[in-house]
């Protein structure tokens, strides 16, 4: 039966943006795969407990430890269940399948979401290739079918993104937080009005225009909120020209006016 609703395609993963700020994450292993996990975890502001013998550390992992980016470093092999205590997530990146499987079972008995590099059936979640532009993160997953394809697709996605996308999103974030400070109510009619207005703002300007907005532009746009209005782009441009003129010293303005007058005088006498 065909209808207007989204078609279900079973067999995928749930792609979500998991919040790990200040959460304890236990990572076991200190090789190349661990180095990649650390980058992703640090970008998510997680507090990493790393368990791996120093002698087997990859250069990048050693650098992360020695520069203080790892919250806790335990210089030995994984050796007991207490190693996972209090963890919000567990990662293994070791070259030993038996120990990996054992760690997975221990993590499961403690209800901790786990990723075991190399053994997809022992993963509650997979990694993917990540494209990053400031606040924007795009995850590419092939559901475990072709990790190298994910990696290759990354550069295609990167090349297709508008250059101004990061700063544009930053400005939308700023505007949304300013809006919250004048209308903090959660839900209800204010929430509906706030959302409708934000959609209008995002749809009214191009990414470049959003990216180039100054703090003053954002405040000017915000003034339209109460009456559910959005300033025309041209009004923002005019106010930019006016403030640019204001910032030029009176001498330069005088010189410009002078030369325009001279030009018109000469022009008229030709």
Ligand X SMILES: NC(=O)c1ccc[n+]([C@@H]2O[C@H](COP(=O)([O-])OP(=O)(O)OC[C@H]3O[C@@H](n4cnc5c(N)ncnc54)[C@H](O)[C@@H]3O)[C@@H](O)[C@H]2O)c1
> DSSP class of residue 2?
-
Distance separating alpha carbons of residues 124 and 155, to the nearest angstrom:
27
The two tokens of residue 124 are 């509650």
Helices (H) and strands (E) in the chain, counts: 10, 7
Distance separating alpha carbons of residues 17 and 22, to the nearest angstrom:
15
Distance separating alpha carbons of residues 207 and 147, to the nearest angstrom:
31
Map residues 88-127 to x or -, x wherever contact with ligand PQ2 holds by CB under 6 A: ---------------------------x-xx-x--x--xx
Among residues 75, 82, 95, 118, the one annotated as catalytic is 118
Rounded to the nearest angstrom, the gap between the alpha carbon of residue 242 and the centroid of all alpha carbons in its chain is: 35
Choice from 30, 84, 103, 128 touching ligand PQ2 (CB under 6 A): 128
Q: In the complex, what is the shortest distance from the CB of residue 55 to ligand PQ2, in angstroms, rounded to a whole number? A: 24
Q: Is 118 a catalytic residue?
A: yes
- Looking at beta carbons only, is 134 or 144 nearer to ligand X? 144
In angstroms, how far apart are the furthest CA atoms of the chain?
96
Q: State the binding partner of 104 from ligand PQ2, ligand X, none, CB within 5 to 8 A by kind.
A: none
The residues of the shown chain that bind ligand X, judged by CB under 6 A, are: 28-34, 51-53, 56-58, 77-78, 93-96, 99, 117-118
Q: Is the dihedral of CA 117, 76, 21, 33 positive or negative?
A: negative
Does 150 interact with ligand PQ2 (rule: CB under 6 A)? yes
Catalytic residues: 118
Which stretches of the chain bind ligand PQ2, using CB under 6 A? 36, 115, 117-118, 120, 123, 126-129, 141-145, 147-148, 150-151, 154
């Amino acid at each position: 039966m065909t209808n207007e609703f989204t078609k279900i395609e079973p067999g995928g993963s749930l792609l979500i943006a998991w919040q790990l700020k200040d959460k304890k994450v236990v990572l076991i292993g200190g090789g190349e795969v661990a180095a990649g996990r650390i980058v992703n975890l640090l970008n998510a502001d997680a507090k990493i407990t790393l368990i791996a013998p120093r002698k087997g550390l990859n250069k990048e992992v050693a650098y992360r430890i020695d520069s203080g980016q790892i919250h806790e470093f335990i210089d030995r092999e994984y050796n007991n269940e207490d190693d996972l205590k209090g963890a919000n997530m567990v990662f293994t990146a070791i070259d030993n399948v038996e120990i990996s499987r054992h760690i997975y079972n221990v993590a499961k008995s403690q209800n901790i979401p786990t990723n075991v590099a190399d053994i997809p059936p022992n993963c509650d979640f997979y990694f993917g290739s990540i494209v990053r532009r400031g606040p924007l993160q795009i995850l590419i997953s092939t559901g475990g079918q072709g990790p190298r394809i994910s990696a290759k697709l990354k550069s295609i996605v990167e090349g297709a993104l508008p250059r101004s996308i990061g700063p544009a999103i930053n400005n939308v974030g700023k505007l949304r937080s300013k809006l919250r400070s004048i209308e903090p109510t959660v839900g209800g009619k204010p929430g509906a009005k706030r959302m409708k207005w934000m959609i209008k703002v995002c749809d009214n300007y191009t990414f470049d225009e959003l990216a180039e907005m100054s703090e003053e532009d954002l405040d000017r746009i915000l003034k339209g909120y109460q009456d559910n209005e959005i300033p025309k782009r041209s009004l923002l441009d005019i106010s930019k020209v006016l403030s640019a003129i204001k910032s030029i010293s009176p001498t330069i303005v005088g010189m410009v006016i002078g030369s325009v007058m001279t030009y018109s005088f000469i022009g008229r006498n030709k």
